[in-house]
Amino acid sequence: MRVMTASSTYLLDLAGKTAIRLPGHGTSDSLYFDIADLRRDAEPIPFIGIAQLAVGLPMVLWLCLREDGAPTLRITTPVREIRQ
């Protein structure tokens, strides 16, 4: 699944439970948002679940970013498009 936010694109593998963030590859709204460099950008990150996913709202993901296994909550800029 491809989720385009206002400032980035996320590639979500629901079967493999991984997420890849591509910063700066969002919609034209990117001009209005600072594009942050986040830990482990452009690499597959295991995710625990999706707490929120709807066009017009920020996507909320629970990720496994840390070595100790503690979950990380990531909240994106507003979602503009969701594609299978």
Rounded Cα gap, residues 71 and 34, in angstroms: 25
Question: Considering the entire predicted model, what is its pTM?
Answer: 0.85
* Average pLDDT rounded to a whole number, residues 33-54: 88
pLDDT of residue 78: 92
Pull the structure tokens for residue 37: 């460099």
pLDDT of residue 60: 98
CB-CB contact of 65 with 41 (8 Å): no
Q: How far, CA to CA in Å, does 56 sit from each of 41, 45, 47, 70?
A: 23, 24, 22, 29
Domains in the chain: how many in total? 1
Average pLDDT, the chain: 89
pLDDT of residue 29: 55
Residue type, 78: P
pLDDT of residue 34 exceeding 80, the answer is no
CB-CB contact of 48 with 65 (8 Å): no
Q: Which domain holds residue 50?
A: 2-83
